[in-house]
Amino acid sequence: MRFIKFSGGQTVLKSCEDISSTKKRLQIEIPAEQIEAEIKKALQDLQRKAKMPGFRPGKTPMSMVEKKFGKEVEAEALDKLIPDHYISALKEANLTPVTKPEMESKFDFKRGEAISMTISVEVRPKVENLQYENITVKEVPVEVADAEIEDVINNLAEEKATFESSEEPIASGDLVTVDYTAIEDGGQEPTISKDAVFKIDNGPYPEEFFNVLKGKKKDEAFDMEVSFPDEPKTAFSGKKVKFDGTIKEAKKRSLPAIDDELAKDIGFESLQALRDKIKENLLAAKNREADAVKQREILDKLLETHSFDLPEGLVKAEVAQIVGDIKTAKKDERAEDVIAQEVHHDAERRVKGSLLLELVGEKEGVTVIEDDLKREVVSIAQRFYIAPDAVVKFYVDRDGSLDGLKRIIFEKKVLKALLDKAQTVKGEA
């Protein structure tokens, strides 16, 4: 265990003890004269502003001001001085905290006496020989096949499809309008439905209901007995129902021709212009994914080539974050400690990767400015079809601030910087 004693002048930090490689114990002292100066300054400010019976503003005797406001002023002075001196002590010891400090010893404050505090804090580990230049990654060729472009065009045509009345036999995907009477097994009162519209094979009724309608035509009658499952929820869930009805109308889907007119309807001058734009978008998306793969490869290599102890508090916080996300997203009913054990390794990798990216970012001068934050908020909002304000609210509600989002942006920028520095070798598509 290493113990360093500091001395001389008005030094705040009296000693720094290694509890572990990532946890330190600091002995901090706030000189009596600094405490007294802060208290007197606050009391003098109050004296100038105080309104007390029998005295003009600014003329109240200091003894009366101190008697009335002394304890409050002392508390406020300590609230200011303790964080300030803690930060100064960290600078003296050249430490970067990664979790909130813990006060190990209580102190009794007395006017005219110095305050001595013992604080423990987890700090960022020191990484020896940080190496991140010229990391080798595979450059996989990115191509867009004609079939991919045609798939997108066909999907766009599907979105422009219309339904037209038909005398042909009903088939899967058709829209049908029916009148029917339904009587539940053991029921007395029938359910009568007029102009009920169904898309064949598209729920919520069971498959056997639609199978009876298939092959029939407009104006034909139908009858059937159908057993409804408990899910999905309908008026007949979990019941056996007898139907008698008539098909009033059948409509078949009509796809538009894939030509210049379709392209113009979508907003392009020609079908070729639409194809060119689709290819451009697909290529951009594939390039983004290829970059993401290379960035993950870079991070994996950083993790493999650097070994250091991790702050326990950071790992615990990351485990808690992952567990919370899993239980929220997947409605996981398992006990939290079971999930925590399962995700512990992933949490360690995340913490280690985040610390490495932080160190690289500092060396490369990476910063996050307000415009970066605004762009990321807008990007997330567009991706999830929500308002930008809702994105901000989510992070503030979850983290208490936008620091978590800023961290994400910072790490993205660092990974991009690492990719720019990487050496690429040809890989296989």
Question: Quick one: pLDDT at residue 66?
Answer: 86
The domain 3-122 having CATH identifier 3.30.70.1050: the answer here is: yes
86 φ/ψ sector (left φ>0, alpha ψ -120 to 50, else beta): alpha
Confidence of residue 10 (pLDDT cuts 50, 70, 90): low
Confidence of residue 341 (pLDDT cuts 50, 70, 90): very high
pLDDT, greater one: 331 or 323: 323
Mean confidence (pLDDT) of the chain: 91
Give the residue-averaged pLDDT of 135-145: 92
Start and end residues for every CATH 3.30.70.1050 domain found in the chain: 3-122
Whether residue 105 has pLDDT greater than 90: no
Q: What is the pLDDT of residues 198-249, one digit of tens each?
A: 999 998 899 999 999 999 999 999 999 999 998 878 889 899 999 999 999 9
Confidence of residue 9 (pLDDT cuts 50, 70, 90): very low
Of 44-58, 88-102, 129-143, 191-205, which gets the smallest average pLDDT?
44-58
Measured CA to CA, the distance from residue 312 to residue 309 in angstroms comes to 9
Question: Quick one: pLDDT at residue 108?
Answer: 83
Give the residue-averaged pLDDT of 173-195: 91
Question: Quick one: pLDDT at residue 187?
Answer: 73
Question: Quick one: pLDDT at residue 6?
Answer: 45
- Superfamily of the domain at 280-426: Trigger factor, C-terminal domain (1.10.3120.10)
pLDDT, greater one: 12 or 369: 369
Question: Quick one: pLDDT at residue 318?
Answer: 94
Q: Any idea which residue has 């407009």 for tokens?
A: 218
Question: Quick one: pLDDT at residue 330?
Answer: 74
Question: Quick one: pLDDT at residue 334?
Answer: 84
What stretches of 111-270 show up as alpha helix (H) in DSSP?
146-159, 207-213, 260-266
Confidence of residue 258 (pLDDT cuts 50, 70, 90): very high
Question: Quick one: pLDDT at residue 1?
Answer: 43
Residues written for the chain: 429
Phi and psi angles of residue 369, each rounded to the nearest 5 degrees, phi first: -105, 170
Question: Quick one: pLDDT at residue 56?
Answer: 79
Whether residue 302 has pLDDT greater than 60: yes
Measured CA to CA, the distance from residue 378 to residue 182 in angstroms comes to 50
Tokens (6 digits) for 407: 């961290």
The answer to whether the beta carbons of residues 271 and 259 sit under 8 Å apart is: yes
Question: Quick one: pLDDT at residue 3?
Answer: 47
**Amino acid letter, 144:** V
Half-sphere exposure of 13 (CA within 13 A, CB side): 22
Start and end residues for every CATH 1.10.3120.10 domain found in the chain: 280-426
Whether residue 113 has pLDDT greater than 50: yes
Of 118-127, 186-195, 366-375, which gets the smallest average pLDDT?
186-195
Start and end residues for every CATH 3.10.50.40 domain found in the chain: 162-254
DSSP string covering 308-327:
----HHHHHHHHHHHHHHHH
The answer to whether the beta carbons of residues 31 and 114 sit under 8 Å apart is: yes
Q: What is the pLDDT of residues 360-418, one digit of tens each?
A: 999 999 999 999 999 999 999 998 989 999 999 999 998 889 999 999 999 999 999 99
Question: Quick one: pLDDT at residue 382?
Answer: 92
Measured CA to CA, the distance from residue 221 to residue 248 in angstroms comes to 9
Measured CA to CA, the distance from residue 228 to residue 30 in angstroms comes to 76
Question: Quick one: pLDDT at residue 11?
Answer: 60
Which residue, among 371, 346, 344, 364, has the nearest Cα to 411 in the 3D structure? Answer: 364
DSSP state of 377: H
Q: What is the pLDDT of residues 26-49, one digit of tens each?
A: 999 999 999 999 999 988 888 888
Give the residue-averaged pLDDT of 88-104: 92
Whether residue 7 has pLDDT greater than 50: no
**Amino acid letter, 375:** R
Whether residue 156 has pLDDT greater than 50: yes
Question: Quick one: pLDDT at residue 2?
Answer: 52
Q: What pTM was estimated for this model as a whole? A: 0.74
Domain 162-254 sits in CATH at 3.10.50.40
